[in-house]
Amino acid sequence: MKVLVYCAQKGGVGKTTLAASTGVYAAQQGLRVCMIEMDRQASLAEWYADRRKLGKDEPDFVLIDNAAKLRPVLAALAKEFDIVIVDTKGEDSAFTSAAIGAADFCVLPTRPLGVDLKACLPTVRSILLAEKPFAFVLNQAPSRSKRVEDTQNALAALGVVFSTIMVARLDHADAVATGYGVTEFRPDSLAAHELRALWLEIADKLKTSGTAHVKAA
């Protein structure tokens, strides 16, 4: 079982949105997926409740209210799932450190804004201290702007930057606000296309991290 962690100290960068849609798409690919929420805002729990009302029972979901529970919960899930996707809260905390410590790979969503770039430094530091592999993904990006390329270059000095750019598209927000992943909400949309491309990059990284095997889409 692989553990994928979405983390970023900054709130509003897209951790929950990308975690939810990634989880749905990985499940669509036939993987056994469990989502873990470590955010007292419980936005992923709301998404999951909406999903249950839609009659959808994949991916699975666990809410953890105490950082110390993460390890035992992961141990219990290891036989049943191919991948666990952890959505963390937007601050440096025991929750986030525990999630990073358990990660096979971390994804750090960042908007192309100076304020986000500065805010990602403590998260990068925590990931490096834990010696975990990670990549940035640019999210909520304008569709055409030199700023995107500038941000990618700036981030490349700190670590790997995924080449997929997640553009600001209402389909991302609308899908997750209604209990869907974007690839089931509007499979033919540009947003869904970008999400699938992001998953390919993540799956590729997961293949070479940790011990178990996750097949790419």
Least separation, in Å, of the C-beta of 126 and ligand ADP? 16
Question: In the complex with Mg ion, which residue's Cβ is closer, 16 or 189?
Answer: 16
Reduced to 3 states (helix: H, G, I; strand: E, B; else coil), residue 209 is coil
Here's the x/- map for ligand ADP, 31-70, by CB under 6 A: it reads as ------------x---------------------------
Q: What is the DSSP string of 46-62?
A: HHHHHHHHTT---SEEE
Question: Looking at 2, 51, 132, 172, which residue binds ligand ADP (CB under 6 A)?
Answer: 172
Question: In the complex with Mg ion, which residue's Cβ is closer, 97 or 154?
Answer: 97
Question: In the complex with ligand ADP, which residue's Cβ is closer, 43 or 209?
Answer: 43
Calpha distance 130→209 (Å, rounded):
14
Least separation, in Å, of the C-beta of 149 and Mg ion? 27
**Main-chain dihedrals φ then ψ at residue 166, nearest 5 degrees:** -90, 105
Reading the block at residue 124, the tokens are 């990068």
Question: Of the listed pieces 26-34, 72-80, 146-154, 168-176, which binds ligand ADP according to CB under 6 A?
Answer: 168-176
Calpha distance 121→69 (Å, rounded):
27
Reduced to 3 states (helix: H, G, I; strand: E, B; else coil), residue 144 is coil
Question: Of the listed pieces 55-63, 77-85, 113-121, 172-180, which binds ligand ADP according to CB under 6 A?
Answer: 172-180
State the first-to-last Cα distance of the chain, in angstroms, to the nearest integer. Answer: 16
Helix count (H) and strand count (E) of the chain?
Answer: 10, 7
Positions in the binding site for ligand ADP (CB under 6 A): 11-17, 43, 90, 139-140, 166, 168-169, 172-173, 176
